[in-house]
Amino acid sequence: MNKKFNSLFVTMFGLGNIKMIPGTIGSLATIIILFILFHVFDISSGLILIVLILIFIYSFPAITSYIEENENKDPREIIIDEFIGQSIPIYLYEVSHGTEKTFNEAIIFYSICFILFRFFDIKKPFPVNFFDKNFKNSFGVIMDDVCAGLYVVLSLICFMVLSTYLI
């Protein structure tokens, strides 16, 4: 039962088993899930944060369990790390603005986060590539996507700062 649940958990309930672009599908599913939670169900950011932290914490043993009998220590079907990494800029966007966000603003921002996250996750600039290459375990699987998510945040902050000087 635990192995079966871990398999479902790390593949985001089977989405990771889709043959083509599972990471991109996982990232897309993440922005859809978070959009629904924040903008359709209007769930409090505190409750969403608790759930995200629990997912983050449980991901380590779940991935460890999933890869323990696998030669490949970062199989393509594991996409819970995409969920974690993609959640970082989306969550921070949602809690950083005290104003009401329109549907269109949220769609644009979520789309930018999606594109930037996929870019950093695929290109793997330092330290994303450091975690990816040097840690062949659950820590490496998760932390490269956390770094990619933080790169998105850093990029958006740089853009906001620069835009204040240019406008």
Residues 6+ apart with CB under 8 A from 163: none
Residue keyed to tokens 């820590």: 139
Q: In the prediction, which pLDDT does 127 show?
A: 84
The greatest distance separating any two alpha carbons of the chain, rounded to the nearest whole angstrom, comes to 57
Token pair, residue 146, equals 């956390």
Q: In the prediction, which pLDDT does 72 show?
A: 72
Cα 130 from Cα 77, distance rounded (Å): 21
Residues 6+ apart with CB under 8 A from 165: none
Please report, in angstroms and rounded to a whole number, the separation of the first and last CA atoms in the chain.
57
Cα 76 from Cα 57, distance rounded (Å): 20
Q: Kindly give the parts of the chain with pLDDT less than 70.
A: 1, 73, 97-99
Q: Give DSSP secondary structure letters for 92-132.
A: HHHHH--SPPPHHHHHHHHHHHHHHHHHHHHH--TTHHHHH
Give this prediction's pTM. 0.92
Q: In the prediction, which pLDDT does 97 show?
A: 66
Domain boundaries, the chain: 2-13+20-166
Which of 16-26 are b and which e, b meaning 16 or more Cβ less than 10 Å from the residue's Cβ?
beeeeebbbbb
